[in-house]
Chains A and B, each alone.
Chain A
Amino acid sequence: EAGVAQSPRYKIIEKRQSVAFWCNPISGHATLYWYQQILGQGPKLLIQFQNNGVVDDSQLPKDRFSAERLKGVDSTLKIQPAKLEDSAVYLCASSLAGTGNTQYFGPGTRLTVL
């Protein structure tokens, strides 16, 4: 079974530029998560989708971050404009719908903002 795919793996941009990350979850997983992991910290949930609807985006900085999950499968996370403090690894995870299901993580995208 294929795992969670993410691209790109690495991205370097200047501050105030925009960037987008892509995630393809495990087939059949209705729930998709985006996390931000700053160096030396644990992952922080940014947004959670159930199919193509948003379940929780309370920690998403909506003035610069946006995410969508069209057709309830792939998802993109965008930052516009980027700030230095956005430098982090952005992790995508997916799980089956319903309570208590295990999240499976992709390899992440390491973003460096200069």
Chain B
Amino acid sequence: AQSVTQPDIHITVSEGASLELRCNYSYGATPYLFWYVQSPGQGLQLLLKYFSGDTLVQGIKGFEAEFKRSQSSFNLRKPSVHWSDAAEYFCAVGAVDFNKFYFGSGTKLNVKP
């Protein structure tokens, strides 16, 4: 069965520190992988996506993610976090034919001044 696991429910980092949010997936075929961000009261905004090719993907707002097939992971990183990055982050996996799309349960990021 397909699934997406985000093992960290809450993460707190200091402003300016680096960030890594973990995402592991279980999928039988080649997946499409996404990271979305959701600020309070806002809809989901796409940060980046991986379909094929280079396994290191650059996104908006200075985020990047690396696809590691051997570890079934797609972790999100940012070298220096800003206070405005405080939000909830969701990893998602889609089928190649895109008829199925699954979200993880999310990681809430708090940023300390």
Contact = CB atoms under 8 A, between A and B. Distances in A.
A66 to B, nearest CB: 20
B44 A91 contact: yes
Contacts of A48: 99
A105 interface: yes
Given A100-B32, A107-B42, A107-B43, A56 B99 contact: yes
Nearest to A50: B99
A56 B51 CA distance: 22
Given A100-B51, A100-B98, A102-B49, A42 B105 contact: yes
A61 interface: no
Interface in A11-68: 33, 40-45, 48, 55-56
Interface in B77-99: 90, 92, 94, 96-99
B96 A106 contact: no
B63 interface: no
Contacts of A105: 36, 43-45
B51 A106 contact: no
B11 interface: no
A48 B90 CA distance: 20
Contacts of A106: 43
A99 B98 contact: yes
Contacts of A79: none
Among A41, A55, A105: residue with most chain B CB under 10 A: A105
B43 A43 contact: no
Contacts of A93: 44
A105 B46 CA distance: 9
Nearest to B41: A107
Nearest to B98: A99
Interface of A: 3-4, 33, 40-45, 48, 55-56, 91, 93, 98-108
Interface of B: 4, 32, 34, 36, 41-46, 49, 51, 90, 92, 94, 96-106
Given A3-B43, A101-B98, 12 more contacts: A4-B43, A40-B106, A41-B106, A42-B105, A43-B90, A45-B100, A99-B96, A100-B51, A100-B98, A102-B34, A106-B43, A107-B42
